[in-house]
Amino acid sequence: MTVRTIDEIFRDFVIDGVPASGPFNPHKPDIRDTLKVLLEGVSTFPDNRVIRLNNADEGTANNIVVTSSVAIPTAAYQVLYILNVTQVNTGPVTVSGAINRSLVTNINQPIAPGYLIPGMAVLCVDTGTELRLLSYGDAEAEQAAAEAAADRAEDAAAGGLLSNFASRADVEITNIPALVTYLRTAGYYAAGDGGAALYQRSSSEPSHAGKVQSADGAWWELASATLTPHQFGELFYSERIDPVAGSVSPAYKDLHFGVEYSSSSTEVLHYGYTANIKRTGGNKSPVGAQLNAYDLSPSGSVPNTSVWGATLEAWSGDHDSEPNVPVILIGIEPAIIQQRHDSDLGKVGLDVVFKNRKDGGTLLHGSIGSNKYNKGAKAITITSQSRSPFGEFCGWKTGIDFSSTGLDLDIDGGAVAIDVSKVDFNRLDYAFKMGPNHSIGWSSPTRSLKIRWLEPSDRVQILDGEIERIGFGATNAALFFNGIQVVGIRSQGWTASSGAATKGGFNSGTVTLPELAQNVKAIIDALLNHGLIGE
């Protein structure tokens, strides 16, 4: 069967375009063969090979139930289908009813959730196993979205790589993507040197220390919750710390935590440890630092050892040599600042608490111990600052104040406010020294002054008001009461009288010479015995 074109079958002349060849009469076999080919399939499938699948919203979002006004062909790729959408899909989509197929993209992938929306019309072809969309979304938008996703993935990957650095120097030579907002360093100069830190991106150069600038010009500042000296300035480890007993060098597994560094920085103060604890509400007391040291050894296993809560040392120079310049050394300086001028609540500079869990200890407790290492050193100095123009109080009203229960007479036979009895006499100039016109006051008439004597001569001993011995070291000393001299320098050259002495009275009108002599002898003996006159 030969299929010819319409123009060839119904041409005007035997030879097309040549009138001289004579008129041409069409052959019926050619007409039949051509019509058969042209009409093949058209009579079976109406609607010009496009079949409408009607969605009356009888299914679900992911299972579309359709009907059709014509028969559905069984052959694949023979007709096109147009399908209306009534619901937003939440997952892969199937079509059932007049035709049962999975609805897929033009690359045979499941429909993405949310792609189908009400009012949409999709055009698809039957492949025999699924209904495949001829188009899937806006190609340009899809391409742009794919490229953007790829860029984000690349930036994320780069950010993961470019947010971890060995040192600050590595940050300074690296261009860091804008997507990265935080970065970490494993050390200050090198990984593991103790300067590891977390940095956050800053919109401008920070005005404080603890910052670094990356090669792209961005500034980064420290963002760690806890800062250490190793994250600032020029620093290095000292090798002075020896391995602790029981550890394996250099792990120092028995050394829980320590900081030792050196710095020549002029930008910041050199803090070993810093803490700012602020209460913004509630009723709990903020505590800047608490150090607890416990001896948990079994009883008797480690006798005569010490437990130190904290030790403080302020050195000038290093551990072995004298410094080049003199400096002021301050071991500890508590600053207690009450911002309310009208507050009468207590302000305590140093509160030392001692507790014994059980009675039976024979050694006395000590609150403040002082070791004198230098000539002229002072164990306790009470001073004040100059009053500023703002007029705040300065100076102390009471240097040392004992509360009503601060001393207890029932403990070991008596309480002592200040005890210097253990000081060697040759080391002590004054147990208590006062300046000109200074005075001592007593509030109790029954117990005024108690001074222990050291030697039997030229010393004062006053016990509970009973005068036993008074000595004056100066050659012109005198004793005055109410401005009147009652005792002066002892008169020497007296000779003890012999014979009887009497302290009995006599009648001055009838006294005899022996009676008067006996009374005079008694007076001389008394003056000699009391030391008011001497031989």
Q: Tell me, what's the pLDDT at 54?
A: 94
43-94: pLDDT as tens digits: 555 445 789 999 999 999 999 999 998 888 888 888 899 999 999 999 999 9
With cut-offs at 50, 70 and 90, classify the pLDDT of residue 129: very high
Q: Residues 365-383: what's their mean pLDDT?
A: 59
CB proximity list for 337: less than 8 A, separation 6 or greater: none
pLDDT at 252 over 80: no
Residue 183: what pLDDT?
92
DSSP 231: G
Task: Quickly tell me which residue has 């705040």 as its tokens.
Answer: 392
Local confidence band at 280 (pLDDT 50, 70, 90 cut-offs): confident
Instruction: Give the three-state DSSP class for 37.
Output: helix
pLDDT confidence of residue 255: 40
Percent of the chain with pLDDT strictly greater than 70: 67
Q: What is the C-alpha to C-alpha distance for residues 101 and 332, in angstroms, rounded to an integer?
A: 85
Query: Residue 528 has what pLDDT?
Result: 83
Residue 332 · residue 341 · CB < 8 Å: no
Residue 263: is it exposed, middle or buried by C-beta count within 10 angstroms (0-12/13-18/19+)? middle
Mean pLDDT check: name the lowest of 7-11, 270-274, 452-456, 472-476: 452-456
Q: How far is CA 26 from the centre of its chain?
A: 104
My answer on whether omega of the bond before 250 falls inside 30° of 0, hence cis, is yes
Q: Please report the DSSP string for 154-172 in residue order.
A: HHHHHHHHTTEESSHHHHH
How many Å apart are CA 187 and CA 195, to the nearest integer? 4
pLDDT 10s digits, 430-480: 877 877 767 676 665 554 455 444 444 444 444 444 444 555 555 666 777
Predicted pLDDT of residue 99: 94
Q: What is the average per-residue pLDDT within 122-127?
A: 92
pLDDT value at residue 310: 81
pLDDT for residue 247? 37
Query: How far is Cα 341 from Cα 336, in angstroms, rounded to an integer?
Result: 13
pLDDT at 384 over 50: yes
Q: Find, among 445, 530, 440, the residue nearest to 487 by Cα.
A: 530
For residue 467, what are the β-bridge partners? 462
Give pairs for 519-527: CB < 8 Å, separation 24+: 521/497, 524/494, 524/496, 524/497, 525/496, 525/497, 525/501, 527/494
pTM score = 0.37
Q: What number of other Cβ atoms are within 10 A of residue 227's Cβ?
A: 15
Q: Which of 39-43, 149-153, 453-457, 484-488 has the lowest mean pLDDT?
A: 453-457
Burial-class residue 83 by CB neighbours within 10 Å (0-12, 13-18, 19+): buried
- Over residues 414-433, mean pLDDT: 80
The rounded distance, in Å, linking the Cα atoms of 270 and 274 is: 10
**3-state class of 479 per DSSP?**
strand
Q: Is the pLDDT of residue 174 over 70?
A: yes
| pLDDT tens track for 328-360 | 888 888 887 777 777 777 777 777 666 655 555
Whether residue 285 is predicted with pLDDT greater than 60 in this model: the reply is yes
Yes or no: say if 85 and 121 are a contact pair by the CB < 8 Å rule: yes
> Which residue carries 């009676």 as its tokens?
515
Of 13-17, 245-249, 289-293, the least confident: 245-249
Strand 63-67, strand 93-97: pairing:
parallel
- Say which residues have a Cβ less than 8 Å from residue 196's Cβ, sequence separation at least 6: 184, 185, 186, 187, 188, 231
Distance CA(128)–CA(469), nearest Å, equals 132
* 63: number of Cβ within 10 Å: 16
Let me know how long the chain is. 535
Q: For residue 198, what are the CA distances in angstroms to 7, 176, 227, 339?
A: 85, 15, 10, 35
Burial class (CB in 10 A: 0-12, 13-18, 19+), 214: buried
Q: Is the pLDDT of residue 268 over 90?
A: no
Which tokens is 62 given? 């992911």
Tell me if 104 sits within 8 A of 77, measured CB to CB: no
Q: Identify the pLDDT of residue 98.
A: 93
Confidence of residue 243 (pLDDT cuts 50, 70, 90): very low
* 348 or 12, which is more confident: 12
**Domain extents for the chain?**
6-39, 47-137, 160-231
Report the alpha-carbon distance of residue 311 to residue 295 in Å, rounded: 16
- Continuous segment of H or E residues that includes residue 526: helix 513-529
Confidence (pLDDT) at 461:
43
- Residue 533's pLDDT band (cuts 50, 70, 90): confident
The pLDDT, as a whole number, for residue 201 is 93
DSSP strand pairing (101-104 vs 130-133): parallel
Looking at mean pLDDT, say which of 17-31, 208-222, 363-377 comes out highest: 208-222
> 241 pLDDT exceeds 50?
no
Residue 376's pLDDT is 61
Please provide the average confidence, as pLDDT, over all residues in the chain. 75
- Quick one: pLDDT at residue 238? 37
pLDDT of residue 67: 94
Q: Work out the average pLDDT over 410-422.
A: 73
Burial class (CB within 10 angstroms; exposed 0-12, middle 13-18, buried 19+) of 113: middle
What is the structure's pLDDT at 235?
47
Tokens (6 digits) for 50? 């496009």
Which of the residue ranges 54-68, 267-281, 291-305, 358-372 would you say has the lowest mean pLDDT?
Answer: 358-372
Confirm if 223 and 211 have CB atoms less than 8 A apart: no
Residue whose token pair is 């001289």: 20
Asked if residue 509 has pLDDT above 50, the reply is yes
Please name every residue paired with 126 in a beta bridge, in sequence order, or none if there are none. 131
Report CA torsion sign: 59, 61, 63, 69. positive
Q: Does residue 172 contact residue 213 with C-beta atoms inside 8 Å?
A: yes
Q: Please tell me the distance from the alpha carbon of residue 187 to that of residue 197, in angstroms, as a whole number.
A: 7
